[in-house]
Amino acid sequence: MPVTEASGVKAWQRRDRRQQFSIWLGWLIGGLVFVQSWRFISEHTIWEFALDAPAQAWDLMVRMVPPRWSYMERLWVPLWDTINIATIGTLLGIIIAFPIAFLAARNTTPSRVLVRPIALIVIVSSRSINSLIWALLLVTVVGPGVLAGILAIALRSIGFIGKLLYEAIEEIDAVQVDAIVATGASRPQQLAYGILPQIMPAFAGISVYRWDINIRESTVLGLVGAGGIGLQLNASVSKLAWPEVTVIFAVIFVTVIISEWVSARVRHAII
Amino acid sequence: MNGQATQTWRLPPFIANPWLRWGIYLGALLYLVLAIGSLHINWARVAEGMERGWRFVSAFARPNFAGRWGEISEGILESLTMTVTSTAIGVALAVPVGLGAARNLAPLPVYVVCRGIIALSRTFQEVIIAILFVKMFGFGPLAGMITLVVATIGFMAKLLAEDIESSDPSQLEAMRATGGSWWQLINYGVQPQVMPRFIGLSVYRLDINFRESAVIGIVGAGGIGATLNTAFDRYEFDTAAAILLVIIAIVMVAEYSSGHIRRRFQ
Amino acid sequence: MLALHALTKRYPTGDLAVHNVSLEVPKGQVMALIGPSGAGKSTLIRCVNRLVEPTSGSVMLDGHEITALGGAALRRARRRMGMIFQEFALVERLTVMENVLSGRLGYVGFWKTFLRRYPQRDIDQAFRFLERVGLTEFVDKRADALSGGQRQRVGIARALMQEPSILLVDEPTAALDPKTSRQIMRLICELCAERELAAIINIHDVGLAQMFAARIVGLCKGEIVFDGSPRNLTPEALTLIYGEEDWHATIKRDEDEPEPADAGAGAGGTGSDDRQLVA
């Protein structure tokens, strides 16, 4: 009890002794885990190299300026590819995720025992695996190039859009659906009039948000051969052409800022 | 009917201006045609890969954990330790940056600097940051950890700042009216309001950091990514499948427990 | 004790919220500030403790100029002025006790408040105030678990913890039902009488203002258009403050209303007729 009374004086403490103790215990365990993890990392680090970092950083800076702006003309095509990977990949992801979300949502799934777990497994496995890993996998399957990138983005987006969308479907106002059911509407009509209008803003917002993330992700897919500006980045880094790397960074920075602006504007317009 | 004017009704279009509406439709169509037209897909190579794809899918039925267990366990352990340390350090550093990036608490110069830090760390994908840190700190988990710290700061500080900005101003005002100092204002007016969500987001970020730690190994920043990359390079699909299954399992456990933790701190 | 002189507030948008207001509130006086929405009532009381920065003019509390203070001196001045809010403004996720103790923030150092180790004297005081407002058994409840009236009582206890010499009260009853509104107003007025506290109470409800306040100030478009006793608040005065409307129904309240409502509806009815005749 936070309030204790001793010889007529009421004392007050924020927590009683047991609560306080368990909080201390939590911090202690957390601290131990952190220290052990740090020791593990430290053992796997060559500290001579690590301590050299400021010098290395300075060296890198010196080599990165001035940027070789003329390299820009060879970046337009990879940039176009990058945007295409993100956009077409997102579209594919949306097309697949949309029905899956309905199968996964508790209130719209045709079968809670059979269909829902499968839909959830699809969503979880898609979400657990980063798009770069999907790309790694797809490059070995369909070969290097833009197609692997598009499919990687699509496969990763399914889980993201699917999860947020099915949560949105589960949160809809059931009374509105009841009202449509009460008119004698068929299942598809219930969907079209009772559910879709409620989730459309969320759906559009989620899709645009994912597109924005995908632009960022697609800039690195080239590192494993899945097309886009990452291919150029990989080439420039491996031949230590730092002035070119600077130009690529600048291009990525501007692209991401623009996509973020576009996505914010579109979401603002929808909501 | 006869003589009576019939009134038609159509759903008003989403975009009222017909020029803008058709312009957007046409532009989208044109973009799709151009984009799909510029894809150079080597269908022969794709067809050839299908067999490999099938081998990979079937590898999930018989994943090979034992073959390279040493490397897998080492990689996973490295990923987990990177996740823990980077989340702890990143979250701790995100607090001051987030406070500085909240317009209702920070003076303008501080605000601009903190927002700048956030924008910079959020723009670049983790892998790109990892490339730079690997150059500076050498190969290994330290570079990966620092990468994830940077990414965590950007993520957490942005969301924290937004939370603070949208918190109930009257509670802050009440604390100001009692004559409390700036720190007391934070402790009494802000912290109780943003803490539950902040804890939830930290747990979520822990989850993200684990997933990212599985990737940045591809550029040499430690973790399970390097092992995975090697497995794919050698077409050892059964090992790759085993690694992916371990990752999925850990992510699922993390997600389940994070839901539990978030409920407790409501 | 509190003296405002030529106080003016112009917002950066150009809106003139308070214009050239001069006012004196002596010790122990409960003053109601009435006026239409947007008349500048909220801005005016926030100028007093400088939650809103006045554009010009002066605020004197017990002979000390407040408008020029900064930093720590301003915080010391603020703890002399307790504030009670419209939507209670409790820290929702903290307990009742923590909320009440937060009234001591201006007196107790940061680390003590951070660790919630308040001096026993403050804790005793908090228990006394909680008992006075009737919330003894709610000490460890979270503020968001209380009803509106209970929350406002916590808000009052918090303001009293500051040991203020004046209470600034911003629409204390706007979020409460009529019965609770009266109880809260009565509590505030009783506490002011007990502790010889002055109070400025912003209030929408003209009836409540007449019932409880010793003095009424009417604000319209940022300027004082009425200042007098509740008795002098005629329909003409109300028209001056709020604009043209049939005010007779509003004023038919009686002096015996502050007594418990069961004092007799019949007596109240006749009383109100008398009042209209006087008006």
Q: Is A12 within 8 Å of C139 when comparing Cβ atoms?
A: yes
pLDDT digits (tens, 9 = 90+) for C13-51: 888 888 888 999 998 899 999 988 888 888 998 999 888
Q: A29: distance to nearest CA of chain C, Å?
A: 21
Please indicate, yes or no, if residue A45 is contained in any of the structural domains. Answer: no
Buried b (16+ CB within 10 A) or exposed e, C135-172: beebbbebbeebebbbbbbbbbbbbbbbebbbbbbbbb
Residues A197 and A260 reside in one and the same domain: yes
Please indicate, yes or no, if residue B43 is contained in any of the structural domains. Answer: no
Q: A161: distance to nearest CA of chain B, Å?
A: 16
Q: What CA–CA distance (Å, rounded) separates A185 from A196?
A: 14
Q: Which helix or strand (DSSP H or E) is residue B133 part of?
A: helix B126-137
Please indicate, yes or no, if residue A62 is contained in any of the structural domains. Answer: no
C151 in contact with B at a CB cutoff of 8 Å?
no
Residues A177 and A131 reside in one and the same domain: yes
ipTM of the modeled complex: 0.82
Q: Is B178 within 8 Å of C79 when comparing Cβ atoms?
A: yes
Residues A31 and A118 reside in one and the same domain: no
DSSP labels for C102-168? GGGTTTS-HHHHHTT---HHHHHHHHHHHHHTT-GGGTTSBGGGS-HHHHHHHHHHHHHHT--SEEE
Residues A114 and A228 reside in one and the same domain: yes
Q: What CA–CA distance (Å, rounded) separates B78 from A40?
A: 8
Q: Which chain A residues have a beta carbon less than 8 Å from that of C116?
A: 13-14
Please indicate, yes or no, if residue B218 is contained in any of the structural domains. Answer: yes
Q: Is B123 within 8 Å of A252 when comparing Cβ atoms?
A: yes
Residues A95 and A20 reside in one and the same domain: no
The answer to whether the beta carbons of residues C135 and C153 sit under 8 Å apart is yes
Nearest chain B Cα to C95, which residue? B192
Instruction: Identify the three-state secondary structure at position A161.
Output: helix
Please indicate, yes or no, if residue B197 is contained in any of the structural domains. Answer: yes
Residues A125 and A174 reside in one and the same domain: yes
The number of folded domains in chain B is 1
Q: What CA–CA distance (Å, rounded) separates B49 from B54?
A: 9
pLDDT digits (tens, 9 = 90+) for B100-141: 999 888 899 999 999 999 988 888 888 999 988 998 888 889
Q: Which helix or strand (DSSP H or E) is residue C198 part of?
A: strand C198-202
Residues A206 and A86 reside in one and the same domain: yes
For the packed helices C148-161 and C178-195, what is the interaxial angle rounded to 10 degrees?
20
Residue C70 backbone dihedrals phi, psi, to 5 degrees: -140, 160
Residue of A60, A61, A124, A130 to mutate, interface with B, max B Cβ within 10 Å: A130
Per-residue pLDDT of chain A (271 residues; tens, 9 = 90+): 577 777 777 788 888 888 889 889 999 999 999 999 999 998 888 888 788 888 888 888 888 888 888 888 888 999 999 999 999 999 999 999 999 999 999 888 888 888 999 999 899 888 888 889 889 888 888 888 899 999 999 999 999 999 999 999 998 888 888 888 888 888 888 888 888 888 988 898 999 999 999 999 999 999 888 888 999 999 998 888 889 999 999 999 999 989 989 888 888 887 6
Q: Is B214 within 8 Å of A146 when comparing Cβ atoms?
A: no
Residue B236 backbone dihedrals phi, psi, to 5 degrees: -85, 75
Please indicate, yes or no, if residue B85 is contained in any of the structural domains. Answer: yes
Q: Tell me which residue range forms the domain holding B169.
A: 66-264
Residue reference for tokens 């987001």? B201
pLDDT the model gives residue B50:
85
Q: Is A10 within 8 Å of C140 when comparing Cβ atoms?
A: no
In whole angstroms, how large is the CA radius of gyration of chain B?
Answer: 26
Average pLDDT over residues C260-269: 38
The number of folded domains in chain A is 2
Residues A1 and A134 reside in one and the same domain: no
Q: Which chain A residues have a beta carbon less than 8 Å from that of C123?
A: 10-12
Please indicate, yes or no, if residue A30 is contained in any of the structural domains. Answer: yes
Residues A8 and A74 reside in one and the same domain: no
Please indicate, yes or no, if residue A126 is contained in any of the structural domains. Answer: yes
Residue of C102, C118, C139 to mutate, interface with A, max A Cβ within 10 Å: C139
Nearest chain C Cα to A16, which residue? C140
Q: A6: distance to nearest CA of chain B, Å?
A: 29
* Beta bridge partner(s), residue C84: C169
Residues A33 and A76 reside in one and the same domain: no
Nearest chain C Cα to B183, which residue? C110
Nearest chain B Cα to C94, which residue? B192
Q: Is C120 within 8 Å of A3 when comparing Cβ atoms?
A: no
Q: Is A14 within 8 Å of C123 when comparing Cβ atoms?
A: no
B 8-67 residues with CB < 8 A to C:
none
Q: Which chain C residues have a beta carbon less than 8 Å from that of A14?
A: 95, 98, 116
pLDDT the model gives residue B3:
54
Q: Tell me which residue range forms the domain holding A163.
A: 70-270
Nearest chain B Cα to C158, which residue? B178
The answer to whether the beta carbons of residues A173 and A260 sit under 8 Å apart is no
Q: C123: distance to nearest CA of chain A, Å?
A: 7
Residue C18 backbone dihedrals phi, psi, to 5 degrees: -130, 130
pLDDT digits (tens, 9 = 90+) for B37-50: 888 788 888 888 88
How many other C-beta atoms are found inside a 10 Å radius of the C-beta of residue A3? 15
Residues A108 and A14 reside in one and the same domain: no
Please indicate, yes or no, if residue A50 is contained in any of the structural domains. Answer: no
Q: Which CATH number covers residue A149? A: 1.10.3720.10
Q: A7: distance to nearest CA of chain B, Å?
A: 31
Partner-chain residue, chosen from C98, C120, C140, that has the shortest CB–CB distance to A11: C120
Which chains contact C through at least 3 pairs of Cβ atoms less than 8 Å apart? A, B
The answer to whether the beta carbons of residues A148 and A226 sit under 8 Å apart is yes
pTM over 0.90: no
Q: Which two tokens stand for residue B78?
A: 């490295």
- Catalogue the E-assigned strands of chain A: 3-6, 9-12
Please indicate, yes or no, if residue B237 is contained in any of the structural domains. Answer: yes
Q: What CA–CA distance (Å, rounded) separates C240 from C234?
A: 10
Please indicate, yes or no, if residue A57 is contained in any of the structural domains. Answer: no
Q: Is B193 within 8 Å of C110 when comparing Cβ atoms?
A: no
Residues A174 and A129 reside in one and the same domain: yes
Q: Which CATH number covers residue B167? A: 1.10.3720.10
